[in-house]
A and B are shown apart, each in its own frame.
Chain A
Amino acid sequence: MDNFPILSLILWLPALGALGLLLVPRENAELARRVALIVALLTFLVSLALPFGYNAAPGDATTMHFVENLPWLPMFGASYSLGIDGVSLWLVLLTTFLLPIVILSTWDSVHTQVRNFQILMLLLATAMIGVFISLDLLLFYIFWEFTLIPMTLLIGIWGGSNRIYAARKFFLYTFSGSVLMLVAIIGLYVLHRDALAASQPGYAGSFNFSTILANLRSGALQLDTTVERLLFGAFFLAFAIKVPLWPFHTWLPDAHVEAPTAGSVILAGVLLKLGSYGLIRFNLSLFPEASRWAAPAVAILAVIGIIYGAIVAFAQSDMKKLVAYSSVSHMGFIVLGIFALNPEGVSGAILQSINHGLSTGALFLIVGVLYERRHTRDMAEYGGIWKVMPIYAGITLLVALSSAGLPGLNGFIGEYTIMQGAFLAPELSWPFLSFAVLGVVLAAVYLLRMYQNVFMGDLRNLKNQELSDLNLRELATLTALCVPIIALGLYPAFAFGPMQASVGETLAGIVTAVAGR
Chain B
Amino acid sequence: MESLQIPPVDLRLLTPLLIVVGWASALLLIDVFFVPNGRKKITGYLAMAGLAVAGLAGIPLWNVSGSTFSGMLVLDRYSLALTWIFLIAGALSIAVALDYLPRHEIEQGEYYPLIMFAVGGMILMAQSADLITLFLGIELLSITLYILTGFAYPRVASEEAGIKYLVLGAFAAGFFVYGIALIFGATGTTSLAGIADYLSRQPFAPQDETLFLVGASLVLIGFGFKIALVPFHMWTPDVYEGSPTPVAAFMSVGTKGAALAALLRVTLAMEAARDFWLPLLAVLAAATMIIGNLGALGQSNLKRMLAYSSIGHAGYILLGIMVAAERGAEAFLFYMLAYTLTNLGAFGVLIALEQRGEAAWSIDDFAGLYQRRPMLAVAMALFMFSLAGVPPTAGFMGKFFVFTAAYAGGLGWLVLIGVITSAIAAYYYLRVVVKMFMQEPVRDVRPELTRGLNTEILIAGVATLILGLLPTPIVLLVEQSLVALGG
- How many A-B contacts if CB must be within 8 Å? 79
B408 within 8 A of A: yes
Alpha-carbon distance A163/B439, docked complex (angstroms): 10
Verify A157–B438 contact, CB threshold 8 A: yes
B4 within 8 A of A: no
Alpha-carbon distance A168/B435, docked complex (angstroms): 11
Q: Quick one: which of A167, A176, A193, A194 contacts B438, CB cutoff 8 A? A: A167
Alpha-carbon distance A141/B434, docked complex (angstroms): 24
Alpha-carbon distance A182/B407, docked complex (angstroms): 11
B385 within 8 A of A: yes
A441 within 8 A of B: no
Given contacts A72-B472, A73-B471, A146-B391, contact A172 B400 (CB under 8 A): no
Q: Quick one: which of B392, B433, B437, B471 contacts A146, CB cutoff 8 A? A: B392
B332 within 8 A of A: no
Q: Quick one: which of B391, B419, B430, B479 contacts A171, CB cutoff 8 A? A: B430
Alpha-carbon distance A371/B434, docked complex (angstroms): 26
Verify B415–A186 contact, CB threshold 8 A: yes
Residues of A within 8 A of B407 (CB): 183, 186-187, 190
Alpha-carbon distance A145/B400, docked complex (angstroms): 13
A142 within 8 A of B: yes
| Binary interface encoding of chain A residues 126-169 relative to chain B, with 1 for a CB under 8 A from any of its CBs, else 0 | 00000000000010011101101100110011000001100110
Residues of A within 8 A of B415 (CB): 183, 186
CB proximity of A452 to chain B, nearest CB, Å? 38
CB proximity of B87 to chain A, nearest CB, Å? 25
Given contacts A145-B396, A186-B415, contact A175 B426 (CB under 8 A): yes
B28 within 8 A of A: no
B273 within 8 A of A: no
Within 8 A of A (CB), among B185-218: none
CB proximity of A186 to chain B, nearest CB, Å? 5
A297 within 8 A of B: no
Residues of B within 8 A of A189 (CB): 404
B280 within 8 A of A: no
| Binary interface encoding of chain B residues 414-438 relative to chain A, with 1 for a CB under 8 A from any of its CBs, else 0 | 0110011011001100110110011
A75 within 8 A of B: yes
B53 within 8 A of A: no
Residues of A within 8 A of B391 (CB): 141-143, 145-146
CB proximity of B402 to chain A, nearest CB, Å? 10
Alpha-carbon distance A335/B119, docked complex (angstroms): 57
Verify A138–B427 contact, CB threshold 8 A: no
Alpha-carbon distance A183/B416, docked complex (angstroms): 7
Residues of B within 8 A of A194 (CB): 408
B175 within 8 A of A: no
Residues of A within 8 A of B396 (CB): 142, 145
Verify A179–B423 contact, CB threshold 8 A: yes
CB proximity of A63 to chain B, nearest CB, Å? 27
Q: Quick one: which of A148, A149, A180, A190 contacts B404, CB cutoff 8 A? A: A190
Residues of A within 8 A of B422 (CB): 179
Given contacts A75-B479, A171-B430, contact A164 B390 (CB under 8 A): no
A494 within 8 A of B: no
Residues of A within 8 A of B438 (CB): 156-157, 163-164, 167
Residues of B within 8 A of A190 (CB): 404, 407-408
Alpha-carbon distance A73/B475, docked complex (angstroms): 8
A491 within 8 A of B: no
Residues of A within 8 A of B174 (CB): none
CB proximity of A176 to chain B, nearest CB, Å? 4
Alpha-carbon distance A48/B326, docked complex (angstroms): 46
Residue of A nearest to B399 (CB): A182
Verify B392–A186 contact, CB threshold 8 A: no
CB proximity of B276 to chain A, nearest CB, Å? 26
Alpha-carbon distance A76/B420, docked complex (angstroms): 24
A20 within 8 A of B: no
Size class of the contact patch on chain B = 20 to 34
Q: Is the interface of B mostly helix, strand, loop or mixed?
A: helix
Verify A172–B426 contact, CB threshold 8 A: yes
Residue of B nearest to A148 (CB): B390
Alpha-carbon distance A73/B437, docked complex (angstroms): 34
Verify A156–B472 contact, CB threshold 8 A: no
Alpha-carbon distance A142/B397, docked complex (angstroms): 10
Verify A145–B390 contact, CB threshold 8 A: yes
CB proximity of B77 to chain A, nearest CB, Å? 15
Residues of B within 8 A of A152 (CB): 430, 433
Alpha-carbon distance A176/B396, docked complex (angstroms): 14
B412 within 8 A of A: yes
**Which residue, of B400, B416, B475, has the highest number of chain A Cβ atoms within 10 A?**
B400
Verify A182–B403 contact, CB threshold 8 A: yes
A53 within 8 A of B: no
Verify A149–B390 contact, CB threshold 8 A: yes
Alpha-carbon distance A400/B404, docked complex (angstroms): 48
B476 within 8 A of A: yes
Residues of A within 8 A of B400 (CB): 138, 182, 186
Verify A180–B419 contact, CB threshold 8 A: yes
A58 within 8 A of B: no
Given contacts A76-B404, A179-B419, contact A187 B412 (CB under 8 A): yes
Given contacts A156-B437, A186-B404, A186-B415, contact A176 B479 (CB under 8 A): no
Given contacts A138-B400, A157-B437, A183-B403, contact A175 B423 (CB under 8 A): yes
Residue of A nearest to B438 (CB): A156
Alpha-carbon distance A189/B407, docked complex (angstroms): 10
Alpha-carbon distance A145/B386, docked complex (angstroms): 12
Verify A142–B475 contact, CB threshold 8 A: no
CB proximity of A163 to chain B, nearest CB, Å? 7
Residues of B within 8 A of A183 (CB): 403, 407, 412, 415-416, 419
CB proximity of B190 to chain A, nearest CB, Å? 36
A74 within 8 A of B: yes
Residues of B within 8 A of A74 (CB): 472
Verify A75–B476 contact, CB threshold 8 A: yes
Given contacts A75-B479, A148-B390, A183-B403, contact A172 B472 (CB under 8 A): no
Residues of B within 8 A of A167 (CB): 434, 438
Verify B434–A168 contact, CB threshold 8 A: yes
Residues of B within 8 A of A148 (CB): 390
| Binary interface encoding of chain A residues 190-227 relative to chain B, with 1 for a CB under 8 A from any of its CBs, else 0 | 10011000000000000000000000000000000000
Q: Quick one: which of A73, A146, A163 contacts B390, CB cutoff 8 A? A: A146
Alpha-carbon distance A193/B327, docked complex (angstroms): 14
Residues of B within 8 A of A76 (CB): 404
Residues of B within 8 A of A179 (CB): 419-420, 422-423
Verify A172–B403 contact, CB threshold 8 A: no
Verify A168–B430 contact, CB threshold 8 A: yes
Residue of B nearest to A26 (CB): B374
Residues of A within 8 A of B419 (CB): 179-180, 182-183
Residues of A within 8 A of B426 (CB): 171-172, 175-176
Residues of B within 8 A of A180 (CB): 419
Given contacts A145-B391, A164-B439, A182-B403, contact A156 B434 (CB under 8 A): yes
Alpha-carbon distance A153/B403, docked complex (angstroms): 28
Alpha-carbon distance A168/B422, docked complex (angstroms): 16
Residue of A nearest to B415 (CB): A183
Alpha-carbon distance A187/B412, docked complex (angstroms): 8
Residues of B within 8 A of A149 (CB): 385, 390
Residues of A within 8 A of B404 (CB): 76, 186, 189-190
Alpha-carbon distance A145/B389, docked complex (angstroms): 10
The 14 sampled A-B contact pairs (Cβ below 8 Å) are A73-B475, A138-B400, A145-B391, A145-B396, A148-B390, A149-B385, A153-B437, A167-B434, A171-B430, A176-B426, A182-B403, A182-B419, A183-B403, A183-B419
Binding site for A on B (CB under 8 A): 385, 390-392, 396, 400, 403-404, 407-408, 412, 415-416, 419-420, 422-423, 426-427, 430-431, 433-434, 437-439, 471-472, 475-476, 479
The 7 closest A-B pairs by CB, nearest first: A179-B419, A142-B391, A156-B438, A176-B423, A190-B408, A145-B391, A179-B423
For the complex with contacts A146-B391, A153-B437, A172-B427, 14 further pairs of A-B residues with Cβ separation under 8 Å are A75-B475, A141-B391, A152-B430, A156-B438, A157-B437, A163-B438, A164-B438, A168-B431, A172-B423, A172-B430, A179-B419, A180-B419, A182-B400, A193-B408
